[in-house]
Structure 1
Amino acid sequence: MTGLTEGDLFRGLIAVAAPIVAGNVLQSVLEMVDLFFVGRLGYEAIAGVAMSSTIVMVLMTIIIGLVTANTAFVSRHYGARDLDMVAKAVYHTLILGLVFSIVLTAVGILFAEDMLLFLGAEPDVAVLGASYLAVLFAGIATMVELWVINSSFQSCGDATTPMLLVVLANILNIVLDPLLIFGYGAVPAFGVAGAAYATVISRGVAFAIAFALLLSGRTPIPFSLRTTFEGALARRLILVAVPNSVQSGLRSVTFMVMMAVVAVFGTAAISAYGIVGRLETVALMPGFGVATATAVLVGQNLGAGKPERAAQGVRLSALMNGGFMALVGVIFFFAAPSLIEIFDPSGTSTEIGMSYMQTVAPFYVFIAVAIVLGFALNGAGDTKRPMYATLFSMVLFQVPLAYILPDLLGIGIIGVWLAVVCGAILQVGMLFSMYRRGTWKTAAI
């Protein structure tokens, strides 16, 4: 379907990456729209959603690892043209995703407010955030299964179908956001929870269509509900998923701890951190699209017995991503106040948010390259090394620095931002060293 294993490498990479980038950017724009409407409810509402998003990242780590394992399995076997194994991998990932979603629903609903209070949220912020989380986790299964199906299509080189599904979901979400947040006519105003209702409903519609396509026989995946569940294959998927889940968990816990550190500086600081975090996410989405295509490229070429072509693709992706994020860093550095005040017109978040952007944005190129290298290793099924890099650079290095630097250097919250920069530099250095060893080329899954 693409030129990932043969032909022009750049064109093949762009053919897969472009729809993923478009879908990712649309998804990020949707999150910005959510934040825009929620921001009309006050900066406490922004803080509640920002802290809730951090908790979602932590609880979704198992699913992130599972999707990564699915990408490695599907792309590898698709590259080897073993379509029966492709279909089995997708079926087993969907089953495992459903099981883990049920667990997430229970944990997310039962402990939402407690987790927000643990992070340091003020009681009113915790109540707002809990109303958002309860709804989001009630419908998490459809979001997870949609993610699995989309990653399966992408791993076979079909990035257009997932993009169209994301477009549909985002249009529906944007329409529902103001309706459910503020209410209209017979529709009551759900406040912060309305943003979560809009997300769940729109993702549910997209999942229904995606699953129907999967069953239709008109996709690269010969999927069947009659597939027999095999414990051995499920265990293989989990063995590849666990290190990536741990890696994602370490990253998410780091973000959660960083949120708690920021909370010490007040609710306005949390609001600013939430805004710059969303802006940063939007900026990184093209890079995540390129990195996802890189993971598919690596998996398919290893499956086709072409490890050197895989390495060429990784170098190309790193140059593309690094160059793009260097440009974004310049824009964010100079446009920080205007960007932040779009979401918090009161100006409460501007000064702190600006300090973050002007400290961290010049180093975005390091984050961009680290993303590509991490995805490349994961796409090869070598998920342990990125886990070690995350452990040392973020948990054992960045977090302690975030606690120490503000008082040690007497620079307040800027010390927290410097810790982010130091962690990013260490992480890219470790990942580059691991990548250069080349053991990923012979990783077994």
Structure 2
Amino acid sequence: SSASASGSDSAAAAAASSDSALDSAASTASDEADSLLRLRRYCVEMVKPNPIDRQIVRIALPAVGALALDPLVALADTALIGRLGALAIGGVGISNNVFNMSFTVFNFLGMATTPTIAQQFGRGELDKASRTIARGLWISAVVGITAIALLGSLSSPIVRFFGANELVTPYAVAYLRARILAAPLFLASMVCQGAFRGYQDTRTPFLMSIAANIVNLTLYPLLIFTLKLGVAGAGIATAVSQATLTLGLLTLMIRKQMLHVRDLRTPPSVAKLVPLLRTGAVLSIRTFSILSTVSFATATAA
């Protein structure tokens, strides 16, 4: 009787253990099924088109196009300058290094303008956005005019500092002095393009870049070969194309009432410029550090 009771208890325990295992397996299977279902729903949501995706594509594609445009035009420019000889290519290359080192640190004019304009546009503060653009343009004008004076008068020692020898220096100086004339407009274009991005419009700067590069490619052979201006003609063509881009963007901003002319008439106070300059200082230090490191590494390797 005792053995029979013990056997019954063992059978009951085994049955209970089996039921528990089945319940555990069923629970695990249910959890796995729920996880797979959630994963499926997530994947469906990820690939399902929505208005935000279309908006991202609408903004991103022209920006990518603009990035792809510059190297292609630079390649065509190099091919044309190459017909003037190795010294011309070397001079233009050194001048471009000087120009980039001098002005890339002011990329903050566009980088800081975009988020500020985007916030003001989102809040409907269009008058404030116009004043923000005007401040950036005033900074561009002051820095650009200063650059014309400094780089124009010190162009020879500067290009020699960047590695130009006595044979290359005349070409480098001729190109730099011609291109530097558009320095204020070059800096202003950063502000203009940053403002358009803040308004979620990358198409307009892209189309204006196409127009400016068409002007550039048209003037290059005309000034270099037809008028026989050499590398100075190349610099003038680049300056004119930059002016085309900037003046076109400014005209469109005024027409679209993104920028009010009255905001350009009076220079902003230093206090109004401090937020932009504070942000710009950090970005400029970062950019200058990168450029300096690359230049030092290149010079060391050479």
Change in Cα spacing, 1:100 to 1:214, as seen in structure 2 (3 Å) is same
Deviates more, 1:40-49 or 1:231-240: 40-49
Q: CA deviation at 1:63?
A: 2.3
Deviates more, 1:63-72 or 1:168-177: 63-72
Tell me which residue corresponds to 1:411. none
Task: Say whether 1:226 aligns with 2:269.
Answer: no
Task: Report the secondary structure of 2:274's partner residue.
Answer: helix
Task: Report the secondary structure of 2:200's partner residue.
Answer: coil
Task: Say whether 1:210 aligns with 2:249.
Answer: yes
Q: Deviations over 1:51-107 (max 9, x none)?
A: 221111111034212222112311232233332222121111111111111111112
Task: Report the secondary structure of 2:252's partner residue.
Answer: helix
Q: What is the Cα-based RMSD across aligned positions, in Å?
A: 1.9
Change in Cα spacing, 1:37 to 1:164, as seen in structure 2 (3 Å) is same
Q: Given the two structures, how large is their TM-score scaled by the length of structure 1? A: 0.53
Tell me which residue corresponds to 2:178. 135
Which has the higher Rg, Structure 1 or Structure 2? 2
Q: CA deviation at 1:165?
A: 0.8
Matches within 5 A, 1:109-188: 109-182=152-225, 184=226, 187=227
Would you say the 8 A contact 2:109–2:190 is kept in 1?
no
Task: Say whether 1:55 aligns with 2:98.
Answer: yes
Would you say the 8 A contact 1:136–1:197 is kept in 2?
yes
CA distance in 1 between partners of 2:233 and 2:204 (Å): 28
Matches within 5 A, 1:193-342: 193-216=232-255, 218=256, 221=258, 223-227=259-263, 229-261=268-300, 264=302
Task: Say whether 1:40 aligns with 2:83.
Answer: yes
Would you say the 8 A contact 2:140–2:185 is kept in 1?
no
Would you say the 8 A contact 1:136–1:196 is kept in 2?
yes
Change in Cα spacing, 1:62 to 1:233, as seen in structure 2 (3 Å) is farther
Would you say the 8 A contact 2:109–2:187 is kept in 1?
no
CA distance in 1 between partners of 2:150 and 2:289 (Å): 19
CA distance in 2 between partners of 1:204 and 1:70 (Å): 20
Q: CA deviation at 1:192?
A: 1.4
Q: CA deviation at 1:235?
A: 0.8
Q: Deviations over 1:275-297 (max 9, x none)?
A: xxxxxxxxxxxxxxxxxxxxxxx
Would you say the 8 A contact 2:95–2:175 is kept in 1?
yes
Tell me which residue corresponds to 1:364. none
CA distance in 2 between partners of 1:109 and 1:253 (Å): 22
Counterpart residue type for residue 71 of structure 1: T
Counterpart residue type for residue 197 of structure 1: I
Q: CA deviation at 1:230?
A: 4.2
Task: Say whether 1:191 aligns with 2:230.
Answer: yes
CA distance in 1 between partners of 2:150 and 2:285 (Å): 18
Structure 1 unmatched ranges of 5 or more = 1-6, 265-445
Would you say the 8 A contact 2:178–2:232 is kept in 1?
yes
Would you say the 8 A contact 1:55–1:256 is kept in 2?
no
Q: CA deviation at 1:19?
A: 1.0
Counterpart residue type for residue 115 of structure 2: A
CA distance in 2 between partners of 1:76 and 1:44 (Å): 49
Would you say the 8 A contact 2:117–2:195 is kept in 1?
yes
Aligned positions, number: 250
Structure 2 unmatched ranges of 5 or more = 1-49
Change in Cα spacing, 1:196 to 1:259, as seen in structure 2 (3 Å) is farther
